Copies of this chain bind each other. A is one copy, B any other.
């Protein structure tokens, strides 16, 4: 297996990317890590020589504020573009970047290409739940597409189910539709129509509508939503969590001796909770519906999150989820 890595994407690139790649290359000798980027800068952080690390030099890169589609088309030798081309040309098997999300989505869709039968690839993340019976859930689309049709939601349900089954070995994974109420007749024009499509789709295990309030209770293995709402939900969750933790921190810091002692005694609990909610432990977000795994971590990522995402890329490749998704949609076209 060979993973193409955009070494220049992310706030602390290439440092944290190279550090994460080193960790992954040591742990997974069966996987070759091919870093695209500035050789001098990369070598600065490459503290070990490993036979499963390769470097392809380029001095062009996509900036975080570059226009996604335009930069992908014009910066033909940017690290992200070269890495994507190498996957398209089958030199490598998966693409990783911590850089410009829009550009990575564009690279995945325009360079690597959609799976035939999937109109819109979706951005998916694995998130933790507080349920005792379901440790994690898959949410998609988290923002690949701002405008979404009912059939897109149906396709998200299929590709999300394939991922849950193949990568997480969940048998007959349950699928829910994020909606503004749990009753069958709830929703806007798009979710109402999608409900009918999902209900009648025999290839998935649809359990109905679920609300954003109950997400963390682990209401289903796969939860589909339009990308505009998905983006708002993810950012609301992140914003609320960071607001509460910041309030707690400043309350401990600015409070009297009692608060400070309380903070000290509760430190382990707070770290445990923040780790429980930290979804980078599951790896990065993945662009599902393209012809190879395309993975993304936060721009403000650390080397451990890079490692986790490369580990996830390897698991995806081993699971053959992309190949089986391709076959499934081909069989639909033949019907």
- Expressed in whole angstroms, the Cα–Cα distance for A262 and B267 within the complex equals 8
**A233 interface residue per 8 A CB criterion:** yes
Oligomeric state, in copies: 2
Q: Which residues of B contact A264 (CB under 8 A)?
A: 262
- Expressed in whole angstroms, the Cα–Cα distance for A276 and B247 within the complex equals 9
A302 to chain B, nearest CB (A): 19
- A239, B265: Cβ atoms under 8 Å? no
Q: Say which one of A17-25, A207-215, A280-288 lies at the interface with B.
A: A207-215
Q: Which residues of B contact A212 (CB under 8 A)?
A: 231-233, 235-236, 239
Partner-B contacts on A (CB < 8 A): 130, 143, 146-147, 178, 180, 187-189, 191, 211-216, 225, 227-229, 231-233, 235-241, 243-244, 246-248, 251-252, 255, 258-259, 261-270, 272-273, 276-277
Write 15 A-B pairs (CB below 8 A) sorted by A numbering: A146-B188, A180-B231, A188-B228, A212-B232, A214-B239, A216-B240, A232-B233, A236-B240, A244-B244, A247-B273, A251-B272, A259-B266, A259-B268, A259-B269, A262-B264
- B252, A266: Cβ atoms under 8 Å? yes
Q: Which residues of B contact A188 (CB under 8 A)?
A: 146-147, 228
Known A-B contacts A187-B146, A244-B241; the reply to A232 vs B178 at CB < 8 A is: yes
Q: Which 8 A-B pairs have the closest CB atoms?
A: A262-B265, A262-B266, A236-B236, A213-B235, A146-B188, A212-B235, A251-B269, A240-B240
